[in-house]
Amino acid sequence: MGDVAVVGSGVVGLTCAVLLAEAGHRVEVVADRWPPDTVSAVAGGLWFPYRAAPPGPVLRWGAASLTRFAALAAEPGNGVHWREGVVVHRDDDPDLGWTAAVRGHRPATAAELPPGAVSGVVCSVPVVDMPTYLRWLFRRCERAGVRFRGATVRRVADLPQETVVVAAGLRSGELTGDRALLPVRGQVVRLANPGLTRWVVDDDNPDGMAYVIPRGDDVVCGGTADEGETDLAVDAEVERAVLDRVTRLVPRLRGAPVLSRAVGLRPVRPAVRVDRVALDGRAVISCYGHGGAGVTLSWGCAEDVVGLAGG
């Protein structure tokens, strides 16, 4: 196996790094920020293929990740939990393609739906406590022999490795010459958990997208999907609107203390890019453009990266 550089230390980059190392490659992760400062740390951590295409590969990658997360949910200390919840639909023809990857899903009953909802899907999927999971994934990389180096990569030609995996989220386009990436801003607020275990996703809420993801001691509440916006400052007015939506969706959240708040930029692309090309004398493997589904697709995409690297 060869020397591989992985650019990016979010959930996709770390997952690629650990599988490459466990396949026998000598791996170095090069990043200008560490996992707690990536957009992955802002994610709610619910398995759901949000803003990711095309449907066929996304379904395959998501199903492969479900298998991996199912095994992890049976182990302590990694932040992965298997939780039931409901995806709310507000039109008569919802996209149900993602359900092909999920076992045991069923139609929601009227009592499980908020006012105005037409239908819904109840299912159990992974809910990942991202701070805990990213720490666990980082340690697994270290145990596999992955090296880490803090640096800003301007060109893949500046890296000494013959193979470079570009998994740097929005910055990936700068390294590969890809102009198809679009930032989609998401703002969340994390509340103290009043005892919730069930998640709710209501993307078609007429007042704006809404989701409630209990992870343990906190509940991630969102959100927004502002295309082309890059401001990372928390907007107090947006937060008030988010809290209004989620407390109407789940009244038990009213009065729950705010623990923290955050903003992240989803790296959206017309199609998730996982391929291998020659660039600047390197074999460049792209793995980016996962939109709001980095966690959801991480293991499946990383398995393809290992195949492209020759392992």
| CA dihedral (243, 244, 245, 250) positive or negative | positive
Does the annotation place 291 within a ligand binding site? yes
Backbone angles phi, psi at 239, to 5 degrees: -60, -40
Does the annotation place 284 within a ligand binding site? no
Does the annotation place 266 within a ligand binding site? yes
Does the annotation place 153 within a ligand binding site? yes
Beta strands per DSSP E along the chain: 3-7, 26-31, 80-89, 106-107, 119-128, 147-150, 163-166, 182-192, 199-202, 210-214, 218-222, 226-227, 258-279, 282-290
Does the annotation place 295 within a ligand binding site? yes
Does the annotation place 273 within a ligand binding site? no
Does the annotation place 294 within a ligand binding site? yes
User: Residue 219 corresponds to which amino acid?
Assistant: V
Does the annotation place 292 within a ligand binding site? yes
DSSP class per residue in 275-303:
EEEEETTEEEEEEEEETT-HHHHHHHHHH
Angle in degrees, CA 176, 180, 184, rounded to 5: 115
Does the annotation place 296 within a ligand binding site? yes
Q: How far is Cα 165 from Cα 156, in angstroms, rounded to an integer?
A: 9
Of 237, 228, 51, 220, nearest to 127 (Cα)? 220
Q: How far is Cα 79 from Cα 71, in angstroms, rounded to an integer?
A: 12
Residues that constitute the known binding site: 32-33, 153, 211, 266, 291-296
> Binding site for D-dopa: residue ranges?
211, 266, 292
* Residues in binding site for FAD: 32-33, 153, 291-296
